[in-house]
Amino acid sequence: MLISLTELFTREGKTNDYAVELDCREFQIPQGICPVSDSKPVALHIENVGDRTLVLSGEAEFTLMIPCDRCLEPVEVPFQLSIERTLDMNLTDEERIANLDEQPYLQGYNLDVDQLVRDELLLNLPMKVLCDEDCKGICNRCGANLNHETCDCDRSSLDPRMSVIQDIFKQFKEV
């Protein structure tokens, strides 16, 4: 959702509080397009500190369905993000892009709250998402989910790097 900062921007020292529903029902992240299964309104506090600068702090709380790294089953991952930004309104959109100081959540005097949350989410993604610490993953031969079924594939084949080491050992024995 877009919120207009025009009124706030014209009054130095003024603060505004907002509670904004997320429009986004899914987020695109490196793991894929992940549905939002639950969300609270995003709470934002924005202050005009003068010198054409706004200081923003906010809280976003939502749950994403992210595929397990091993078996790809969706896992509910809760997020609680604290967002802190300084919005420099001296810059035009063109200048921001030219400076590589991209603030894509800012379009003129409108703040794109979904984009702001997406930005913060990308900085806070977990390194690893697992449905269970002991997830057995999927068979890399037939694709069976090994948490639910077994298969007859031979998965004992060695990593090619290991077979190089084995060859070296063999050479030593032959000498």
Residues engaged in binding Zn ion (CB under 5 A): 68, 70-71, 131, 135, 139, 141-142, 144, 151, 153
- The answer to whether 33 and 26 have CB atoms below 8 angstroms apart is yes
How does strand 42-50 pair with strand 53-67? antiparallel
Minimum gap (Å) between residue 157 Cβ and Zn ion: 12
From the CB of residue 148, how many other CB atoms can be counted at a distance below 10 Å?
10
Minimum gap (Å) between residue 128 Cβ and Zn ion: 11
User: In terms of CB distance, is 89 or 151 closer to Zn ion?
Assistant: 151
Mapped onto helix, strand or coil, the DSSP state of residue 34 is: strand
User: In terms of CB distance, is 94 or 134 closer to Zn ion?
Assistant: 134
Could you give the count of Cα atoms lying within 13 Å of 50 in the half-sphere of its Cβ? 1
Minimum gap (Å) between residue 67 Cβ and Zn ion: 8
Rounded distance, CA 136 to CA 7, Å?
55
User: In terms of CB distance, is 97 or 153 closer to Zn ion?
Assistant: 153
Rounded distance, CA 102 to CA 90, Å?
14
Minimum gap (Å) between residue 150 Cβ and Zn ion: 8
User: In terms of CB distance, is 45 or 155 closer to Zn ion?
Assistant: 155
Minimum gap (Å) between residue 27 Cβ and Zn ion: 20
Minimum gap (Å) between residue 161 Cβ and Zn ion: 22
User: In terms of CB distance, is 125 or 144 closer to Zn ion?
Assistant: 144
Q: Give the residue ranges of DSSP H helices in 93-148.
A: 93-98, 113-123
- Residues 120, 63, 46, 9: is their CA dihedral positive or negative? positive
User: In terms of CB distance, is 63 or 145 closer to Zn ion?
Assistant: 145
Mapped onto helix, strand or coil, the DSSP state of residue 19 is: strand
